[in-house]
Amino acid sequence: MSSLDVTVILAAGAGTRLGGTGKALLQVNSQTLAQRAIDAAEEAGTVPLLVLGHRAEEVQAELTAGTVSFGLQILVCKDWEQGLSASLQAGVKGAAALGAGRVAVVLVDQPGISAAALSRVLEAQSPGRVARGSVHGRGTHPVVFDVEAALAAAGKATGDQGAREYLRAHSGLVDDIDITADADDADIDTTEDLLRWSQT
């Protein structure tokens, strides 16, 4: 199996409850959510693969204007409006095309998933099993798969659901890894959520 680890960052949505501005360009502490996720993926020793959809050209322009590692991969999901499943499928296929042996999946709107949290889940994942972050006993991201399992999970995803159906059907293969000390898994869905993050 390839030793390449790829972190798929799902960032294609429009952020409807945030006025349709798109979450990737939202800023927390003067840094876009996209850049925060990219930095965490790189610090954890993985190749970041950013999956874009809504306002993709603007996100790419913003990243180009900033400081971006040469390792960043960007993929535009043309079917992003079909929901999270389309982005997951595009991202996992993209990771496989890069030659990934393992795929970590994170959401751009969870800025509190740190590099340390991602590293902990990566280190805990065993061949043939799925490692999933857990905060206060609650399953969350990141989720780390062997690439074959990631492809299978993406294949089962529908609508606005990601790997949930696959994880439920294969619960015996899922290891929950406590990342409470290294992560805040709250996501940004509303302007109130964004304000809370901006005050941290």
pLDDT value for 183: 94
Percent of the chain clearing pLDDT 70 (strictly above): 92
Whether 186 has a pLDDT exceeding 90, the answer reads: no
CA distance 134 to 131: 10
| pTM of this structure | 0.94
CATH assignment of 5-193, among 1.20.120.1200, 3.90.550.10, 3.90.960.10, 3.40.718.10: 3.90.550.10
Name which residue leads in pLDDT, 63 or 16. 63
Which tens digit of pLDDT belongs to each residue from 99-152? 999 999 999 999 999 999 999 999 999 999 999 999 999 999 999 999 999 999
CA–CA distance from 9 to each of 14, 42, 88, 136 (Å)?
15, 12, 9, 23
CA distance 133 to 139: 6
Name which residue leads in pLDDT, 76 or 62. 76
CA dihedral for 17, 110, 90, 94, sign (positive or negative): positive
Q: Which among 13-17, 71-75, 167-171 has the top mean pLDDT? A: 167-171
Q: Which two tokens stand for residue 4?
A: 């390449």
